[in-house]
Every structure is written in C-alpha cells, then in structure tokens.
Amino acid sequence: MELLGLDILLIGFFVGFGLLIGVLFGFFGMGGSFLVTPALLVVGYPAPVAVGSGLAFVFGTSVIGALRHRDHGQVSYALAAVMSLGLLFGIEIGTRIVFLLAGLGSADVVISAVYVGLLSAVGLFVLRDARTADSDVETGRVATGVLAIELPPMVSLSGGATVSVWVIFVVGSGIGVLSGCLGVGGGFLLLPVMVYGFGVPTAVAAGTSVLQILISGAFGTFVYAQSNAVEIPVVAALLVGSAFGARIGVSATRLVNEADLKGYFAGMLLAGGAATACKLASDVYGVEPLETGSVVLIFGTAVLVSGAIVRTSIAALRTNRQSGSPRTH
C-alpha cells in the first residue's frame, strides 16, 4: 500500500525517525539534518535530493523549536541576525558547488567524505571538552582569542562578550558554505562556535542556533526546490514525527547539566561520521555488511541518545521534586 508515492511502512519509519530527530533537535539546537542527510544517502537517495530534503526538514523543525526556545528566553537576536547574513551568502556558494560536483558524477563520494571528516573532528573536540576537568579554562582561551579581534562595529552577546560583526559574518559564511554543500542547517557547527568561540552560554547558543537554522533552512530549501531536489513526502513524514519530539527536547535542555549535554552531542556527531564512513566504504569496495552497519549506526544511535535524554530528564525531574528546587545548567 502506498501513500503520496511512498510505501506505508516506509512512511511509518520516517515518522518514527522524525520523532527521534525532533527530540535531538530540540535538545541540541540543531535541525537534525546532520543525521537526516546521511540517512537518506544510506537509504539510496541521490546526493542532491538528500541534501535538499535535509534542508527542507531543517526549515520545518526550526519553526517549532525557535518558538519554544523563545518562550524560554534562550535566543540572542543580535548574534542570530549577523550570523544569518553570513549563512545565506555561504549557502548560495555551497549549493553551486554541489550541483557542479553532481555534474561531474562525484557528488556522493565527496559529500560523504566531507561528512566523515567534519563530524568526526567536531565530535572528538566536543567529547574531549566534555570529559576534561579543565574544559572551562580551555573554552575560555579560545573565546579570549576570538574576542581579542576588535574590528568595529562590535555587537554585545548574551554572557557579556563583545564580538566584531565582521568575525561573526566570516564565520557564518564559512558555515553557510558547508550548509549548502552538505544539506545541513549548520547547527552542529553553530553550537560549538558560539560556545567555544564567542563564549555564549550553551542553552542560549542552542536557542540562537535554532533561529539561524530556520533562516538558512528556508533559503536552502528554496534553492534546491528550484531544481526539484526536495522529496516532499519524505520531508512531510519526518516533520510529523519531529513536531512532537521537538517539544520534549527543548524542555530537556532545562533539566540536563551542561557536561551531559556536550557528551550526548559528541556521541551523535561521532556516530553520524562512522555511519557515513561505513556507507562510503561499502559503495567503494562493495562490502555489503558495511552498508548494514551504517544503517544500524545512524538509526540505532538516534534511538539510544533520544532515550538517554528522556531518561536523564525524568531522573532530573524526580530529583527536583524531592529537593523542591529547579535544576539549572
């Protein structure tokens, strides 16, 4: 039986996966496309369609999450405004790169390889920070170096930092290029950049990231849709599930401590990188078990981390009720 051109079981699968991604999105302040795009590649969609559909999913989830984070006061509008200008500029460049690679017949391999390297590098960095006792000192050093660049005009951010508008724009442009190339809203890069580079509190960085992803996702979707590179039924099924999951994830950010948040974030990135690497190796060397392994990694990790977030939040709620005081980061 089919609905909107998709098998009913496949639709159910995408709805369930969307629910898990929604939890992760609300929790980490990311559109979830860093898992959605590799997942669509693993399932067998062409690279441009996987990228375009990932961006469309990003846009839909961001609308939900941005409203929730706004309600909690976890958005820095000044930072979001400047960074978004850079993101839009970079996305246009990144999109052109993807279609150039597609014309050369190398888009799948190149995009997968970049995913592996980027997710692994960022994941290892965040994991090291989460597991190191002097992580606050290291974070402060990075932020101090960035804040030392005083090119006017300057903008004041949440947490007391003052950053050059030009620095924010250049960083946003770089992330935008990757967003346009990889079909991501850029959340898995925006979050660590704001926390480690600009000294923004993690919860505020998550909320600000969601607002920026909304803007970049809308623009990226429009660009890819012009080339019919967005699979609407898949995106719709994912959004149905994520609408419920996002509410859970956003609420969890107020209950889980910062070290745990960073640890979960690192685990998701490393799993996404490993899954994409398995898929790439399977395509290049024809090893079927590796393709199965990539599917297990990408979807199994989403289940495990989403479950861990919900379990930790429930435990925190119980502790709060017993102590009679709210828990903060």
Tens-digit pLDDT profile for residues 203-261: 777 777 777 777 777 877 888 888 888 888 888 888 888 877 777 777 776 666 666 66
Backbone angles phi, psi at 30, to 5 degrees: -125, 150
d(CA 277, CA 46): 17
Tens-digit pLDDT profile for residues 172-204: 888 888 777 776 656 667 777 887 777 777 777
Residue 75's nearest CA partner among 180, 196, 187, 201 is 201
326 pLDDT exceeds 60?
no
Higher pLDDT pick, 116 / 68:
116
Per-residue pLDDT, averaged over 80-104, amounts to: 84
Place of tokens 């950010």: 253
Q: Are 130 and 263 in contact (CB under 8 A)?
A: yes
Q: How many other C-beta atoms can be found within 10 angstroms of the C-beta atom of residue 289?
A: 9
Q: How confident is the model at residue 137 (pLDDT cuts 50, 70, 90)?
A: very low
In terms of Cβ atoms closer than 10 Å to its own Cβ (0-12, 13-18, 19+), residue 5 is: exposed
Higher pLDDT pick, 16 / 276:
16
Q: Treating both helix axes as pointing N-terminal to C-terminal, what angle do 202-225 and 165-182 enclose, rounded to 10 degrees?
A: 50
CA dihedral (157, 161, 165, 168) positive or negative: negative
**Three-class SS of residue 227?**
coil
Q: Is 75 left (phi over 0), alpha (psi -120 to 50) or beta?
A: beta
What average pLDDT is seen over the chain?
75
**Three-class SS of residue 198?**
coil
138 pLDDT exceeds 60?
no
Higher pLDDT pick, 257 / 280:
280
d(CA 27, CA 37): 19
